[in-house]
A and B are shown apart, each in its own frame.
Chain A
Amino acid sequence: MTTATTRSLVIEKEMPHPLERVWRALTQGSLMKEWLMDNDFQPVVGHRFNFRSTPAPNWNGVVDCEVLAVEPNKKLSYSWCSMGLASVVSWTLSATAHGTLLRFEQTGFGPGQEANYNGAKYGWQKFIGGMERVVAGLK
């Protein structure tokens, strides 16, 4: 299931693998490098790290991040700031009869200089929410 709005991006996928294995792939730097990007990630709340990729035109190849939540085999979340635009990436795992349901969510899209993930900001989020109606009228 995929939902893409201007407010958040959600991807959910059931995978025929045990929770622990999926968790390892999400949180071990060397494994993360294989499917996502090179990094100096550590599963410690408050740890600041980068994802690094080959620079491309209009992109320096660096994503600035900070670990926001770590609940082993359950939830991982980090800020994701690139090119001055900030968001929060969250991974949530739950066990199913056949393996693991993986839920990915990227929220809080907004200008990085305003990044304040714990509320108390006048409404970039609220603004984006309101703009969904406007954007829906574009097509």
Chain B
Amino acid sequence: MLAISGTVFTALADPTRRALFERLSREGELTVRLLTNNSGVSQPAVSKHLGVLKHAGLVRSKHKGRQTHYRARPRGLTPLVDWMNYYSRFWHDRIDRLEDLLKRMDQ
């Protein structure tokens, strides 16, 4: 049935990480410091969340001087898209079978 990696879903299951990912998708490249400002979360916590997003392939990082810059990696969402495509095929197939059954019930 599903042959997907749970990493992306686990990474995005956390509201703080989702918010970080959304912000990077919207605003482009940002430093950890900028991401921490007004987030209500400490800088080490933000760094840790970014590490999880990076492991899941959802963001990438670059060192510039003493700062680490992060950027969203939209391609990381591919498992989500694959999952939807999988279910699309699954249900089309099952609904075809439902129609066959209804025809047989008619007889």
Which A residues lie at the B interface, using CB under 8 A? 2, 4-6, 9, 11, 13, 15, 17, 21-22, 24-26, 31, 34-36, 53, 56-59, 61, 82-85, 102, 104, 106, 109-111, 113-114, 122-124, 127-128, 130-131, 134-135, 137-138
Give the contacting residue for A56; candidates B1, B25, B95; CB below 8 A.
B1
Residues on B with beta carbons closer than 8 Å to the beta carbon of A6: 77, 80-81, 84
- The residues in B between 50 and 71 inclusive whose CB is less than 8 angstroms from any CB of A are none
| Contacts A9-B87, A59-B1; A135 near B102 (Cβ below 8 A) | no
> Chain A interface mostly helix, strand, loop or mixed?
mixed
B contact residues, total (Cβ < 8 Å): 37
Tell me whether chain B's interface is mostly helix, strand or loop, or mixed.
helix
Report Cα–Cα, A9/B98, bound state, in Å: 18
Residues of B within 8 A of A128 (CB): 80
Query: A21, A58, A110: which contacts B4 (Cβ < 8 A)?
Result: A58
Cβ contacts under 8 Å, B72 to chain A: 134
A35 to B91, CA, bound (A): 10
Enumerate 24 A-B pairs (CB-CB under 8 Å) in ascending A order.
A9-B88, A11-B95, A15-B99, A15-B102, A17-B102, A21-B102, A22-B102, A25-B105, A26-B98, A31-B101, A34-B97, A34-B101, A35-B100, A53-B1, A58-B3, A83-B2, A83-B4, A111-B9, A124-B12, A127-B18, A134-B77, A135-B77, A137-B74, A138-B81
A114 to B22, CA, bound (A): 18
Let me know if B44 is at the binding interface, CB within 8 A: no
Instruction: Tell me whether A111 and B13 are in contact in the complex, defined as CB-CB below 8 angstroms, given that A4-B85, A58-B2 are known contacts.
Output: yes
Residue of A nearest to B16 (CB): A122
**CB atoms of A21 and B1 under 8 A apart:** no
